[in-house]
Amino acid sequence: MDIRLEKFGTVLLTRDQGKPIRAKLLSLIRSGHAIRVLFDDVETVTPSFADEVIGRMLLDLGEADFRKNITLVCSDPATRRLVNAVLANRKRELLRS
């Protein structure tokens, strides 16, 4: 199932913006859907938003289930780097816990 983040806004800034989106995505995954999260047409993503939505899903699901159920799609190298940096941090926490 494709989830276009742009549907939630082209400027994605705060953790408060991210919380309901994460809840929706987790609900879809837990009801058996694999999802593709598309960043196309999103103009701004902050580290906080990325962490609240994507980083915390990694913690909630664990890396194996995260990779199995979520595909991230983004053509913008800056956003990819930001999200990868956020996820790497959460992966490190996951491995340490």
3-class DSSP state for residue 31?
coil
Residue type, 75: S
Q: How many residues bind other proteins (CB under 8 A)?
A: 40
Residue 63 · residue 94 · CB < 8 Å: yes
Q: Which lies closer to other proteins via its Cβ, residue 24 or residue 91?
A: 91
Task: Please report, as residue ranges, which positions from 5 to 44 form the binding site for other proteins (by CB under 8 A).
Answer: 11, 13-15, 36, 43-44
Among the listed residues 22, 26, 28, 84, the single contact to other proteins using CB under 8 A: 84
CB 6 → other proteins: shortest distance, Å? 15
Instruction: Output the CA–CA distances (angstroms, integers) from residue 92 to 25, 26, 50, 55, 62, in the order listed.
Output: 22, 21, 16, 11, 11
- The smaller minimum CB distance to other proteins, of residues 7 and 81, is found at 81
In the list 51, 53, 61, 69, the residue contacting other proteins (rule: CB under 8 A) is 51
The pair of structure tokens assigned to 49 is 């938003």
Spatial separation of the C-alpha atoms in residues 56 and 54, rounded to whole Å: 6
Interface residue list for other proteins (CB under 8 A):
11, 13-15, 36, 43-48, 51, 54-56, 59, 66-67, 71-74, 78-93, 96-97
